[in-house]
Amino acid sequence: MKTILVLVGSLRENSFNGIFARALEKLSAHCFRFVYADIGSLPHYNEDLWSNPPEAVTAFKQQIEAADGVLFVTPEYFRAPPGILINALAWGGRPYGSNSWAGKPTAVVGTSPGTIGTAASQSHLRSILPGLEVFLMGQPEVYFHTKPGLIDAQDEVTDDQTRAFLSGWVERFDAYVRLIDGARQHAVAAE
């Protein structure tokens, strides 16, 4: 079973994206173990803090490095990902020469009550991630339109068609994580 580090870009207790992440977790319980990063405990990025990095930062970088893959679940604030995700990207990618994101199979999803379901935010995030040397899964994309009752209080997807689509996405992400892992193992064996 592969470990996926999940970064939810909203700190609100009952955020749409937190609920969506937990629904994806249930749908992927057969192949993934989700570990949720506590990005709310990270201080604002400040290069000066590397002289004595906060424990939250070192623990976060260790989580990234230990994960088999990364999942960003992003809301959309003013057509962009929230600052808390950008802050986490900076901490994980620094200091220079110590990019914890490098080589990680990564996916981006998000949900919103708006009909475009975080498409602009995801597009912005997708333009940033290659600079961090992740292996970004391009397809299928998930711009999830949150509707009342679509995910119940037990984090179960209630609509059969939606469940089938999201289960298909999980299978593709699982295959992608395994593909990247297999390529990495093959490269190490060839050395």
pLDDT in tens, the chain (191 residues): 999 999 999 999 899 999 999 999 999 999 999 999 999 999 999 999 999 999 999 999 999 999 999 999 999 888 889 999 999 999 999 999 999 999 999 999 999 988 887 999 999 999 999 999 999 999 999 998 889 999 999 999 999 999 999 999 999 999 999 999 887 776 656 66
Residue 140 preceded by cis peptide, ω within 30: yes
Q: How far is CA 21 from the centre of its chain?
A: 9
**Cβ-based neighbour number of residue 183 at 10 Å:** 13
Q: Tokens for 146?
A: 């949150």
Domain ranges of the chain: 2-190
Q: What is the model's pTM?
A: 0.94
Nearest 5°: the CA angle 139, 144, 146 is: 170
Helices (H), the chain: 16-27, 55-66, 83-93, 119-128, 160-190
CATH class held by domain 2-190: alpha beta
